[in-house]
Structure 1
């Protein structure tokens, strides 16, 4: 058995974000242990610096060597931010070139070589520095929108005396850096792990942060250190991957600075995070739905605006605002737009302002202009906005007072829908920062909130060209049916979704369920059959082989478009069909530089065919082998077993469970604790 055969399950190949709907009332699970309300301080060995540490040379110092590469602020970064890219590990022949054109990042003055927008970033990256962050996750209460949410789970800098925050601290790095993040779990009732969404994790798949697959959950009062190389550049987010925990607030923005496919003057900081928001825990919402749902834009919302029938119980703060105060009409701003929702797909727009789209997920694209973008759960877009409002047949008149609504419509993709007429007015763009006026502008009319589909296929043209080879797993790859079956509770209480392989009959409802205490990563030397519920798909290919997957909504049906996310890879979208039945004879696959990203929406009336190389097994580089009966020698395995030992001790005392045995209505006590797939 080849290593890829063993590891494809660890990377899970395709993981879908579950679009959840309220299906029954029930208790809040996944909160099993009763610990003291006052947690002890973390032990000394976990007390890393509170603020991020960058191993860099002080560019203001007279001691900076003259024979090293450049130190510079990323283009458009506010001076007060203080963040610098540092390439002093490279020779002095290399200089920053992004001030000449945003498509260039570094240039060698002797050879004229460049790291730029067309550099094949999976093969070539500059050499940056080590960036260290220390975070903790805590139980907290958070008032984002005029109603307290008492079951929030939030990130903060470890040891920081300031309140925890939503979104969490901004993780920044530069193309070619190495990022190291120490994560301490200071929650009372949850394990956790942290996924770095969209990160390539080449040869570091054990840092992917999916409990039950790449690690055991981090137990309360324990710490795990994630470390990975920044091979890509662009916008993303990090979030916990312990069931639906992230929807309680455990998310934060992540920016990898690098080149851009169009010019801009200033980057809006921090990135724009859009999310749905409820006032009951997500562990309860999977049964009952979100209580008093709302939309937040960078942590601000108005619970009365999403549904006018819901009264606020605390003071509603002003919405998110951005000022173009005094800017010339030619000034251009970079907006990094991210959807971190539990249940909502958004259409983002700014009244009277066009959006120039320059990247989709971590993939730089040929720029195109539109009035709005549809952003699925987990997707990201970088867009450039010019300080120059327009008026045409598709929009209202230019605002005399210079105030414009920033809108986040809920697309008709099966999630919660706004009830009140102005629910989507979640931010304000002002040309006069001192103005207190409420905008009176009207929305663009050239799109419909009833739409539910990705940005136009033909518009997503990657700047780095890929040519896709023939499928190595059959003439048209392998077929997986996306099944939704609300009757499948006999498997486990929240068994709703599955990707059923055609080789298994294609129509079988056989959902995945991981074992928190026995992650796939610790079973890479398995030679016998895999545990059936792990849903391992064995593959035996070389690193140059292409794997094609056709993902098709099953006949049980679903609502809206379902987001599919691939870990450890960008995938090529060979075909994305709507209102078309799948059949191998009618496929129209694009193999010459097709759209590429890491989250795609599968239309329930069609299908998608994706392709990726079998080149990210990672296990061969981890030195996982050991003599028969001998001790473990791999640091990765040793640490994984230590984390699992802490987890098993924490989880193993059923007397501490909030609902032991059949008290939660389940005959199997394990179902009281883990009522879903676990991821």
Structure 2
């Protein structure tokens, strides 16, 4: 990739030394050129690259691994953006896209049961699709109309290279957006694939502040038609803020149902339950139409509060092509386990020659993983694939014989990234002393943990001051212990994190054997290894995989076991590490990675917007202090 070695240096130099206020201009600054309009999935949507003169789209149904190529180049394979391009170093310069999101209160009923304390984005749950292309500059204006809470929006899985202030984490990278106020996020789509955006204000996303996101780019296998992301969520009828009290009291909440893109079917009696809607007022079951012979790209997201799912379609094979934002070499399976926060792209072929795929309807199943969640109504037939667009009948298909409901990530040898990493066998940090963490229940006095028994990952549960985000305290060298700040001041190599969930008790915490989906902000990480056995400081590292191991931004910490991950310390910022079970994160199961502390402020165009947002929050808080009760970590 000789051409892009030089190109990537220029682009990275541009990001590093151009004032941040100039990074998101309407026009590309590097090369004058023309617009390219490749084929993309959504009708009427276009990817545009006005800087790439003489280039053309090379992404076609039978060549999805290519994205853009230079037709004038004498060496076309070395002058194109494709599935093999190292997207952390090279990317095409797209255009500027701008979005507006309004967060508000609304009574909603995604599963047929009214939720008076629902939250919505632009009036709906899920919120609208945010759609962009690889290399685009993105601006999103978020206005808060919620009357009783602040809000923030996190763009799940995006690297946010040199845009830490846009990560959207309450108490870490910003203060909450006060009622009636607006905060503007600016960032670049350096990766491609799909994900979701959601509130990172306490327990707001389980009440509805979430939506899908697509960044168009190449894929590692071919398809004919792409569907919008499918958000798979457990759903609670009551406010998550109220339900959280059960977690604090030692009785984790049980969800009521499952919804796909805000559509579910909760069984209840309208005659005896006032919040139960009659059939005539309910949404029809979630369904998609397949045409025989076509290959469909499905973009799956687990956007749940506390539940892992196994996704399958009766009598259909899934070809898996990406993990989170990382393209992988394709593999085929009958089902796929999706932990909270994880995403998979899968291709499903509507094959008319397969005996099981005759005309008819087939169940989409989202099966609760064993031991990873609790739902009152456990019916797993949550959607329908129809080959006849006029059909309204429910399927009679049966679940496949090879559907595995184990709560565990896919085998490592299935998840092989297309763009390889070779990991240094020697960590830059002191792993035994500063890189090993235990997940468990804090043994501190409840008065030290704000009145309740709480989860933690460091020596104390995370507890943030909404009015004092870490990003405004970058010169501090002695953070409050409850901020759980871990310093990583390295500019090379790999930082290792070893996280355990063992079944033992010591003077600091009770280590409960529960599985946790662990999410790192600001980075993709490699999975050096994971297992459900006791971690051995001496022997377990001998089993680590250093040669292109699985790479993603959410991985399962197995119940009673261990998870070893590593990331490149190449993105100065304050980055959250947390369990994506919302109850656990709010309880305190999180820590902050302070990466290259002295360099963070240089990457931020101005802290003025952050300071204004904090001032607005403080004004709102002063007017509501008598009714405001912080009982969670803040995230």
TM range (shorter): 0.7 to 0.9
2:56 is aligned to 95
* 1:69 Cα offset (Å): 4.2
Q: What secondary structure does 1:647 align onto?
A: helix
Cα deviation code 1:146-191 (max 9, x no counterpart)? 21111111101xxxxxxx1111010011000011000000110000
**Structure 2: distance between partners of 1:404 and 1:299:** 20
Q: What secondary structure does 1:132 align onto?
A: strand
2:521 to 540, 564, 567: 567
Structure 1 residue runs of 5 or longer lacking an equivalent are 1-53, 58-64, 157-163, 392-396, 501-507, 626-633, 659-671
Q: Detail structure 1 runs of 4+ shifted over 4 Å in the superposition.
A: 54-57, 289-292, 485-488, 618-625
1:572–1:488 CA distance, 2 compared to 1 (3 A): farther
Residue 483 in 1 paired to residue 440 in 2?
Answer: yes
1:418–1:373 CA distance, 2 compared to 1 (3 A): farther
1:419–1:151 CA distance, 2 compared to 1 (3 A): closer
Q: What secondary structure does 1:455 align onto?
A: coil
With the length of structure 2 as denominator, give the TM-score of the two structures: 0.84
* 1:291 Cα offset (Å): 7.1
Residue 85 in 1 paired to residue 37 in 2?
Answer: no
1:390–1:652 CA distance, 2 compared to 1 (3 A): farther
Given that 2:196 and 2:211 are in contact with CA atoms closer than 8 Å, whether structure 1 keeps it comes out as yes
2:555 is aligned to 600
2:95 is aligned to 129
- Paired residues, what number? 562
Residue 166 in 1 paired to residue 125 in 2?
Answer: yes
2:261 is aligned to 298
Residue 415 in 1 paired to residue 348 in 2?
Answer: no
1:305–1:413 CA distance, 2 compared to 1 (3 A): farther
Residue 549 in 1 paired to residue 497 in 2?
Answer: yes
Given that 2:496 and 2:566 are in contact with CA atoms closer than 8 Å, whether structure 1 keeps it comes out as yes
2:397 is aligned to 441
Which range moved further: 565-574 or 284-293? 284-293
2:277 is aligned to 313
Which range moved further: 468-477 or 168-177? 468-477
Q: What secondary structure does 1:286 align onto?
A: helix
Given that 1:344 and 1:413 are in contact with CA atoms closer than 8 Å, whether structure 2 keeps it comes out as no
Q: What secondary structure does 1:550 align onto?
A: strand
* 1:313 Cα offset (Å): 3.4
1:585 is aligned to 539
Given that 1:399 and 1:440 are in contact with CA atoms closer than 8 Å, whether structure 2 keeps it comes out as no
1:159 is aligned to none
* 1:427 Cα offset (Å): 0.4
Alignment of 1:396-415 (within 5 A): 398=356, 401-415=359-373
Residue 428 in 1 paired to residue 384 in 2?
Answer: yes
Cα deviation code 1:228-287 (max 9, x no counterpart)? 01000011000000111100000000001000000000001x211100111100001112
1:515–1:437 CA distance, 2 compared to 1 (3 A): same
1:517 to 462, 467, 470: 467
**Structure 1: distance between partners of 2:254 and 2:552:** 33
Given that 1:206 and 1:636 are in contact with CA atoms closer than 8 Å, whether structure 2 keeps it comes out as no
Alignment of 1:432-471 (within 5 A): 432-449=388-405, 451-469=406-424, 470-471=426-427
Which range moved further: 579-588 or 641-650? 579-588
Q: What secondary structure does 2:439 align onto?
A: strand
**Structure 2: distance between partners of 1:620 and 1:173:** 32
Given that 2:193 and 2:217 are in contact with CA atoms closer than 8 Å, whether structure 1 keeps it comes out as yes
1:206–1:228 CA distance, 2 compared to 1 (3 A): same
Cα deviation code 1:312-340 (max 9, x no counterpart)? 4333332111111xx333x1000000010
Alignment of 1:333-412 (within 5 A): 333-388=296-351, 398=356, 401-412=359-370
1:617 is aligned to 572
Q: What secondary structure does 1:429 align onto?
A: strand
**Structure 1: distance between partners of 2:598 and 2:430:** 26
With the length of structure 1 as denominator, give the TM-score of the two structures: 0.79
